[in-house]
Amino acid sequence: MILAAEGADVPLLRQLEREAGKAFTPLGMDLVAEDEPPSSARLRSFLAAGRAWVHVVGTTPVAYLIADVVDGCAHVEQVTVHPEHAGRRIGFGLIEHLATWARARGLPALTLTTFTEVPWNGPYYLRCGFRYLRDSEITPGLREIRAAEARAGLDAWPRACMRRELLSPDPPHEG
């Protein structure tokens, strides 16, 4: 079940991020694996803006998504699923929830930035209906995000911007 994230969820969201980050270690991506989760204050800003959701099993959040609005599109800032719950379409469900939220606000697309060669990143988002943007399609806000990622050292691995149009009412079928 997807719910709006609440203040009490913040410590658990940070822990979810730490647990999910461990999957990057076997890929030699220790910088990513050891990266500090978003701060409590940053997470609370997404909650206050109404752009943070959790997927709960029972009453416990096992995944979350936080979103921004970048250049008039809903931007997936972060989507994280606890490794014990991976492969159950939970992340896809959160992305679809964001797509519904964005459509209700008249936003034309979802965007995100991601690693292109990590199976649960770029290849996964392709299956979710996203496409890679050509350099000429990258908007100013996405360029700013990518520049910040580069300064943080994330360009040590191939990264890209992606977009999913929201014109069609039919969601893609992740699989």
SS3 assignment, position 53: strand
Average pLDDT on 157-163 reads 97
pLDDT tens across 124-145, in order?
999 999 999 999 999 999 999 9
- What are the structural domain ranges in the chain? 2-165
pLDDT of 170 above 80:
no
Q: 2-165: which CATH architecture?
A: 3-Layer(aba) Sandwich (3.40)
If one counts every other C-beta atom within 10 angstroms of the C-beta of residue 31, the result is 13
Q: What value does the mean pLDDT take over residues 156-174?
A: 80
- Could you report the per-residue pLDDT of 26-37, keeping only the tens digit for each? 999 999 999 889
Supply the pTM of this predicted model. Answer: 0.91
Res 50 pLDDT > 60? yes
State pLDDT tens for residues 71-107: 999 999 999 999 999 889 999 999 999 999 999 999 9
Q: Which helix (H) or strand (E) holds 12?
A: helix 10-21
Contact 70, 19 (CB under 8 A): no
- Is 64 in contact with 76 (CB distance < 8 Å)? no
- The model's pLDDT over 102-121, given as tens digits with 9 standing for 90+, comes to 999 999 999 999 999 999 99
Which secondary-structure segment (H or E) carries 64? strand 60-70
Residue 11's DSSP bridge partners are none
